[in-house]
Amino acid sequence: MDKMILRGMEYYGYHGVFAEERKLGQRFIVDLELEMDLRAAGSSDDLTTTVNYAEVHELVQGIVQHKSFKLIEALAEHIASSVLDTYTMVDALTVRLTKPHPPFDVHFDGVTVELYRSRK
């Protein structure tokens, strides 16, 4: 299956179990892998035969910046279902959502959840 991959989309959102996270907000990084047939777009060079990745970015940005979830798992699930609901050309997708600076007293590079969802 062909893929369109959107990497490193960074947004500021208000998600977390702790009240401070939902009040102060923090940075989130989203990667998407959209599985779909890209042959028509490749042969026609016509934007209407594919998914406009600028629109996908705007959809994800709206979710991350304007909704609030306690768990990043719930945020990732909402992104996955919204993309599948909006873009019927997408057969399946992988969402990788990273919280680079969780509020812990120890240092680590962040936490990431990864979801795979398909229409089948």
Q: Is 99 a catalytic residue?
A: yes
Q: Kindly give, in sequence order, each residue whose CB lies less than 8 Å from that of residue 94, ignoring residues fewer than 6 positions away.
A: 31, 32, 33, 114, 115, 116
In angstroms, rounded to a whole number, what is the distance separating the alpha carbons of residues 70 and 14? 9
In angstroms, rounded to a whole number, what is the distance separating the alpha carbons of residues 49 and 70? 37
Of the listed 3, 70, 99, 120, which one is catalytic?
99
Q: Which two tokens stand for residue 13?
A: 């959102």
**Residues with catalytic roles:** 99
